[in-house]
């Protein structure tokens, strides 16, 4: 009988190692098992805990809806025409939405330096939405269509579609003002953010408070209805040009304690936003622009 040689012992040892490795592989959790399930569960919980941010208008298509250009602004003037369709998930024009602050569709245009802001309400002509903009200076702009689909499961979060456009010619660029505690409208009203220039956390629901004073310096204790509310506010990220809608807190017609208008807010991106507050007082609509910083 032959005595085992060294090579025999080496082969035996290798076989044992391979056997142990095979058992380990067989017993190890596979993809989609406990570890992966735990990871997915944690991700789901995290996503569920985050508040829902608004559609941001950085795309011309979202949630099955698409902005179809018909007439895009390309010249300066007091009444530059704009025409477009909103195509639904089936590819057909949509001509009816839920009322959103008394309007089916809100339309905004902002220049990339935030020095030009327009908020108008297109009218329906067949299946085409038409309006006009006042564009007295050239530059790079973005226009936004905001609406709430009839079949939405969350009417507080409208769909916002955005499309860039350019007005040729010389442009007077104006730097975006730094975050500040207050601002003065072109009509002499002073709007003061009650929290001063404090930074706002991103992805966290907040209430923003703004105190209004008239040209005489006295607090405004009551405002006229504007778009079915005490005021309207939209914010735009100064670098991304994304849009954020803020909802009024006080019920329509409520007295303004300390002259304060309040809005629910939720900012999805860090950076600076330019907020445009519209309110009606003394028989006309006033617009205040103020910059805030979001962490």
Residue 104 pLDDT: 96
Cα–Cα distance for residue pair 264/230, rounded to 1 Å: 13
Q: How far apart are CA 231 and CA 279, in angstroms?
A: 5
227 within 8 A of 247, measured Cβ to Cβ: no
Structure tokens at 115: 């020095």
For residues 176 and 272, give the distance between their C-alpha atoms in angstroms, rounded to a whole number. 9
Residue 65 banded pLDDT, cuts 50, 70, 90: very high
Question: What is residue 18's predicted lDDT score, i.e. its pLDDT?
Answer: 46
Q: Which residues sit opposite 68 in a β-bridge? A: 85
Question: Does residue 49 have a pLDDT over 60?
Answer: no
Summarised one tens digit per residue, pLDDT across range 104-118 is 999 999 999 999 999
Mean pLDDT throughout 247-273? Answer: 94
pLDDT tens figures, 246-257:
999 999 989 999
Alpha-carbon span 141 to 202, nearest angstrom: 25
Q: Round to whole Å and give the CA distance between 93 and 289.
A: 34
pLDDT recorded at residue 238: 97
Closest CA to 146 of 100, 84, 92, 102: 100
0.85 exceeded by pTM: no
- The CA angle 167-75-239, to the nearest 5 degrees, is 20
Structure tokens at 237: 């990220």
Higher pLDDT, 148 or 156: 148
The pLDDT value given to residue 170: 87
Q: How far is CA 253 from CA 113, 220, 226, in A?
A: 34, 13, 10
Check whether 22 has a pLDDT greater than 50: no
């Amino acid at each position: 009988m032959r005595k085992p040689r060294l090579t025999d012992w080496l082969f035996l040892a290798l076989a044992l190692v391979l056997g142990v490795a095979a058992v380990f592989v067989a017993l190890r959790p596979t993809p989609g098992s406990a570890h992966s399930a735990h990871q997915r569960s944690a991700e789901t919980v995290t996503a569920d805990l985050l508040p829902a941010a608004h559609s941001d208008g950085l795309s011309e298509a979202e949630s099955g809806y698409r902005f179809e250009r018909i007439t895009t602004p390309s010249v300066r003037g007091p009444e530059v025409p704009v025409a477009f369709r909103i195509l639904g998930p089936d590819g057909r024009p949509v001509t009816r939405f839920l009322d959103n602050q008394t309007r089916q569709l809100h339309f905004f245009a902002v220049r990339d330096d935030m020095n030009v802001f327009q908020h108008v309400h297109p009218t329906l002509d067949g299946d085409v939405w038409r309006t006009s903009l006042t564009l007295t200076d050239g530059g790079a702009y973005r226009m936004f269509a905001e609406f709430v689909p009839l079949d939405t499961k969350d009417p507080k979060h409208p769909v916002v579609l955005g499309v860039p456009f350019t007005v040729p010619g010389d442009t007077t660029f104006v730097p975006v003002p730094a975050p500040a505690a207050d601002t003065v409208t072109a009509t002499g009203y002073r709007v003061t953010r009650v929290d001063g220039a404090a930074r706002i956390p991103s992805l966290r629901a907040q209430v923003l408070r703004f105190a209004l004073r008239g040209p005489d310096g006295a607090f405004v204790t009551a405002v006229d209805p504007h778009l079915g509310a005490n005021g309207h506010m939209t914010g735009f990220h100064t670098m991304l040009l994304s849009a954020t809608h803020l909802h009024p807190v006080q019920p329509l017609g409520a007295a303004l304690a300390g002259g304060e208008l309040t809005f629910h807010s939720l900012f999805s991106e860090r950076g600076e936003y330019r907020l445009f507050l519209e309110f009606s007082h003394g028989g006309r609509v006033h617009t205040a622009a103020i910059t805030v910083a979001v962490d």
